[in-house]
Every structure is written in C-alpha cells, then in structure tokens.
Amino acid sequence: MNIKTLIMEEVLNQEAYSAPEIPCRIKLDANESSYDIPPSLKSRIIESIEKISLNRYPEPGSPDLRKGFAGLYGVDDDMLIVGNGSDELIQILLMAVKGQASGVMFPTPTFAMYKISAFNTGHRVIEVPLDSRFDLDVDSMLEIIADKSPELVFFSYPNNPTGNCFDADRIEAILKESSGIVVVDEAYANFSGKTFLPYLDRYENLVILKSLSKVGLAAMRIGILIGSLPLVHELNKVRLPYNLNTLSQIAARLYIDNEAEFRRQADGVAGRREELSNELKKIDGIYPYASDSNFILFGCTFDTDSIYDGLLKKGILIKKFNTPGVLENCIRVTVGTPEENEEFLGALRDILTS
C-alpha cells in the first residue's frame, strides 16, 4: 500500500514546519519575551496546579476567560474565542470558511502559518508582494478582490517579519471592498499601541487575533479571536471542545488579572527597541527598518551567514533570511533585555570589524 496516495496533494508538496532547538545563551530568534513572568505570578500558577483535578477535562469554551478578555478589549464575550495559540485560531478560520475557487490572500513576506494552514485546509493561496516600503499594494489587492473575492484575507499588524504596521487606511479600504473575512492579526500589538478593535462596530467581516506568546506566555499557547457574533457562533462549531488545557486557562486568568504589569513590560520593550535600532543605525553596512514590534529587521551589506555563524559562536541566536527577494541579506533580531541587546551589539560590531 502506498500511504501517500491517501494524503492531500497540498500536504505532500510541503515540508513540515521546522523550528529546530538550537542551543544558545541569548535567544533572539523567535520574537518571544526575554523575561519569564515575575516569580510572584509563577508561584501563583504553581499553587493553582496543586488544586487541579488532573483526572477532569478543562472547562470547555473557557467562559470565564472570555469574560475577562472581553473586559480588556471592550467587546461582548460572545464575540470571543480563546485558542491554543493564535495558530489554532488561524486554522479554525480556514477550516470554517468555504474554500472553492477564490482563495486566501495575504501580502508577502509575512507570517508563514497563513500559507501553511491555508494549504493544509485545501485553500488556494494568493500572495501579493508588499511595496518597496513594506506597505500593502492596495491597488493590486483591490483588483484581486474585484476579480476573485478571496474568502479570507490575512494581515499581520504589525507584520512579521518586516516589523511595521501597514497603513490603516489601506487595510480599511480592503475591509470595505472585501466580501470575505479580513483578519487583522495583532500578535505584536502590545508593542505598537495600534489596534483595529474600534473598527469592529463598522465591519462585520473583520476578525482580530491576539496572542499572549509575545508578552511572556509563549509556553502556555494562548490566543484570542474577536469577531462578529454570527461569525463566532459558526467558528465555535469548528473549535475542539477542550482546546485550551487547564494550565493554560490558569495562566490566561493570571494575565487578565495582571494586565497592567504585562503592559508595562511591553512598553519597556518598545523603548529598548528604539535604543537598539538607533545603535544598529550607527553601524556601517547595517540598515534597520522601522519597527512597531518587539523585533527589528535589518538589511546588511555583509554576508548574513557569517554574521549568523559568528553570533552563534558567541552564544547569540538570531533569525537570518537568505531567501532571494526583499528579505535577501536580512536578519531579524528580537529586542532582548538591556544586557542581551548590549551583548548582541558588541558581538555584531566585533564580527563586522574582524
């Protein structure tokens, strides 16, 4: 028997998503928070674990958390789904919408999971390159909407890996014209201070995604989807009943109760991002792009492989892009603690002068 004959062609044609664990001292490759959560909060998680009956399923649909997040975001709790990371919510959206001839549209470069999950759920993919300022090519996107009516459009806002927020008017132009769902993925919104939440009243086809992965809880896998009541009603039929485990539910509750503290930490990251960017600008041959996120993309006139290898020899892990196109010779670095940033900058200067 040839097992492959049973597998979807879209799956056969892909490589599995690989995120290898590369040993390092300073991890600046995955846009995580460099700080673990404060020990006082961590011990509250540990105390809560002692009270869990591990023989029981988690609370389905996380009603308590939905109320808490609804309070934070100023929306009705029935407009919300809590997911096993926003990755799961992207997949739920793709599983729920019809995937016939039209397609799923997103700009490139952007977050890889839009494409991977679209293929895995049998959708066509329509990629539209960003313009030279890493903003949306709104004319091309509007043409595609008029021509093909994509069932879903994804915008990472700010965009991973370029770091910038697209022009809000361009996104709104697409929201207005699209007959499909427009997803504004705000995984990095804690560092941009920008959100499409106020647009929810105006656009029934708008969905907003949030994530706690970039603010110190990546290990807990917590994402939030916010959309119109009729859409969320349908999406809940696709969501698995116990999608958020009890431990993650406890961590999410802790986030809700201590949101101001998490926000202060994110504000600190945004401040250090500007310092790091200014220091990078001072290095000959390094060209950082403006960022609204907790990472910075920079181009370099040097060989990125030797920068990557040199940094890794010193225990510092960053993300290199050596794919042809706009990301050629680009490196993405997560904003770390002040000490990590200092060490990264020192190591980079050393490598470039040696």
Ligand X SMILES: Cc1ncc(COP(=O)(O)O)c(C=O)c1O
Binding site for ligand X (CB under 6 A): 31, 85-87, 111, 156, 160, 185, 187, 211, 213, 223
Per-residue CA distances from 43 to 231, 266, 336, 339 (Å)? 38, 21, 24, 26
Cβ proximity to ligand X, 216 vs 310, nearer residue: 216
* Position 260, amino acid: A
Nearest approach in angstroms of CB 111 to ligand X is 4
The answer to whether 298 and 232 have CB atoms below 8 angstroms apart is no
Residue number of the CB closest to ligand X reads 85
Torsion of CA 114, 120, 122, 128, to 10 degrees: 30
Cβ proximity to ligand X, 62 vs 213, nearer residue: 213
Nearest approach in angstroms of CB 32 to ligand X is 9
- Determine the Cα–Cα distance for residues 174 and 144; give it in Å rounded to an integer: 10
- Six-digit token string for 90: 């992207």
The answer to whether 121 and 104 have CB atoms below 8 angstroms apart is no
- Determine the Cα–Cα distance for residues 58 and 245; give it in Å rounded to an integer: 6
Going by C-alpha positions, the residue among 328, 22, 14 that lies closest to residue 161 is: 328
Nearest approach in angstroms of CB 155 to ligand X is 9
Cβ proximity to ligand X, 221 vs 272, nearer residue: 221
Nearest approach in angstroms of CB 337 to ligand X is 20
Query: Within a 13 Å sphere around the CA of 352, how many CA atoms are in the beta-carbon half?
Result: 16
Element (H, E) at 242: none
Cβ proximity to ligand X, 334 vs 343, nearer residue: 334
39-52 burial code (b ≥16 CB/10 A, e <16): eebeebeeebeeee
Cβ proximity to ligand X, 185 vs 343, nearer residue: 185
Q: How would you class 100 by CB atoms within 10 Å of its CB: exposed for 0-12, middle for 13-18, buried for 19 or more?
A: exposed
Going by C-alpha positions, the residue among 196, 192, 217 that lies closest to residue 205 is: 196
Cβ proximity to ligand X, 90 vs 311, nearer residue: 90
Nearest approach in angstroms of CB 346 to ligand X is 27
Cβ proximity to ligand X, 68 vs 310, nearer residue: 68
Q: How big is the chain by its Cα radius of gyration, in Å?
A: 21
Nearest approach in angstroms of CB 147 to ligand X is 27
Q: Three-state SS for 124? A: coil
Cβ proximity to ligand X, 283 vs 326, nearer residue: 326
- Determine the Cα–Cα distance for residues 110 and 129; give it in Å rounded to an integer: 10
Nearest approach in angstroms of CB 86 to ligand X is 4
Nearest approach in angstroms of CB 350 to ligand X is 29
Nearest approach in angstroms of CB 159 to ligand X is 7
**Residue with structure tokens 């040199």?**
310
Cβ proximity to ligand X, 331 vs 347, nearer residue: 331
